[in-house]
Amino acid sequence: MFLGLIEIGNALNSYLTVLASARDAARLAAQGGATPTTMLSMIDNETDRLPTDVPTGSLNCSSGAGVDIRGLDGSCQALLTVSGKAAVQVKVCYDHPLFVRIPGIAEDTLRLCSKTTMRRIS
């Protein structure tokens, strides 16, 4: 039971890191100060403390682990709108390694994803 509590705390800490990196990258892009390359670099820097790497070498426009950016030139989808206004969306997915295996539910990793959408100011 004690090991389960440690696992939950560790996964929550990793999720908060993923959440903050997606939010910060979306905020930077919404203010008009980022390209997909600078956003990938920012996410890479913010997720350095995770036990394993988030793949940030390039955009991942499918449903795997990595970074999906929409609403900017050079991203997975150039045009994105929210309520008729230009927007940017950042999705960061991370495969969190588990200490405790749960047969049939979570064998080796737990996928943690955070998606943030913000209207672009500029």
Express each pLDDT in 71-90 by its tens digit. 888 777 778 888 888 898 99
Q: What is the pLDDT, as a whole number, of residue 94?
A: 92
pLDDT at 52: 86
pLDDT at 117: 92
The Cα–Cα gap between 110 and 107 comes to 8
pLDDT of res. 63:
67
* Residue 72 structural domain: 2-119
Q: Which residues of the chain have pLDDT under 70?
A: 1, 63, 102, 105-106, 122
**Look-up of token digits 């991203």:** 75
What's the pLDDT at 81?
83
What lies within 8 Å, CB to CB, of 97 at 6+ separation is 51, 52, 108, 109
Supply the pTM of this predicted model.
0.86
| pLDDT recorded at residue 106 | 65
- Count of structural domains, the chain: 1
